[in-house]
Structures are given as C-alpha cells and as structure tokens.
Chain A
Amino acid sequence: MMEHIPLNFPFLAAALLAGVAFYIIIFKRNLIKLIMGIALLASAVNLFLVALGYRAGGNAPIYTDVPPGPMVLPVPQALTLTSIVINVAVLALMLTMVVHIYRHTGDIDSKKSRRLKG
C-alpha cells in the first residue's frame, strides 16, 4: 500500500507534462506538431484529474463484489470521462481542418498560411 508520498509526485508529473506541451505549442511551427502538443496537454489534464481523487488504500467505487475498505472518490472519474470524449471530438475536427488547409494552400507552416484570403 502506498503511504505518504513526499512532494505530491503524481501532481508534479502532470505539471511537467503540461510544461512540455506548452513548449511544443509555443515554439513549433508545423501544424501537425501543434496538434500533437494539444493532445499531450489534454492527456496531462486527464492525469491530473484522476490523481486528484485518489484515497490511500482505496478500491474502485463499484459495489459489485468489492473487498472491504475505503473507496476512491467517484466524481473526478466522471469528469475525466467527459473530458476524454470532448478531446477526441475536437481533435477529429482539428485534423480535418488541417487537411483542408493543406489542400488549399499546399503548405502546413503556420507562418505562411496566416492571412485570410479574400
């Protein structure tokens, strides 16, 4: 069983993942790499949400044949489920938009396809 983990290590891992994702979003110019950075940010937020609801030595919050002991909090898991589905939907839409940008301008550099053609 996990006793008192020093320095809140799982939260720190989620914050560092978010830091790497922000580095990709700020400094990279290829559109596909930007989308990968956004997906990494989504994974960091999901990890943080699930780690918030952990109770030391707890079991899954389901009453079917559960061993005795405390239960983990159920509300952060419900919020993570919603977050995963929304991220999948938004990622699919972003990828089709990148396909359209490539078809119309022939380039996926975010500095060159910046102006709206009118």
Chain B
Amino acid sequence: MRQVVGLILLLVLVAFLVWGVLVIHPFGYPPSDMDDYIIENAQEETGSNNVVASVVFDYRGLDTLGEATILFTAVTGVLLLLRTRKRREESS
C-alpha cells in the first residue's frame, strides 16, 4: 500500500517538474533587466572588476551575512555533538 502511494506521488512530482521545465524561456536567451543594469554599472559604483564578487558582497550583502551565520551555527552544532562522556564520569 505504501509502495503504491509512493509511486503515484513520485510520478506526479516528476511530471510536474518536466512540464514546468519545458514551458520556461528557451535555453540561452534569458530575460535580463536587472542583470543588464548590474553589468553596466558595477565598475563605477563598487569599483571592482569582478561583477560576481560585487553582487555577493555589495548588492546582496545581507544574503552573505545570513550565510556566514549559518556556517557559524553549523560548526558550533557539530563541535557540540561530537563530545564523549569522559568528563561526566570524572566529575561524579
């Protein structure tokens, strides 16, 4: 029973994904109003040659702040979980 429900769900999902992919813009000709502005004006406004770096750190700096926070939290979580139980036996 679970197998049949899972199979129907998988077929519906894959059909939706494939249909969705076939009706968006043709590959190689994207709509690009915001990116044309960024490519034109990134050298004067931010002063760097690398447009991707200026998008990551200047035009969209808040996303990079959130990503740095996620990296910090994940490292803290991993270091917290990988401690053994030696100290509890020594202190009691």
Contacts and interface: CB of A to CB of B under 8 A. Distances in A.
* A–B direct touch in complex (beta carbons closer than 8 A): yes
Interface of A: 2, 4-5, 7-12, 14-16, 18-19, 22-23, 26-27, 51-56, 61-64, 71, 73-75, 77-79, 81-82, 85-86, 89-90, 92-93, 96-97, 99-100
Contacts, number: 123
A61 B50 CA distance: 7
B1 interface: no
A93 B79 CA distance: 10
Contacts of A26: 6, 9-10
Interface residues of B, number: 42
A18 B17 contact: yes
A75 B21 contact: no
A8 B60 contact: no
Contact of B26 (A4, A81, A85): A4
B47 to A, nearest CB: 11
Interface of B: 3, 6, 9-10, 13-14, 17-18, 20-22, 24, 26-30, 32, 34-35, 38-39, 43, 49-52, 55-56, 60, 63-64, 67, 70-71, 73-75, 77-78, 81-82
A16 B51 CA distance: 31
B27 A14 contact: no
Majority-rule SS of A interface residues: helix
A5 to B, nearest CB: 5
B28 A93 contact: no
B27 A78 contact: no
Given A62-B50, A85-B67, A89-B74, A73 B28 contact: no
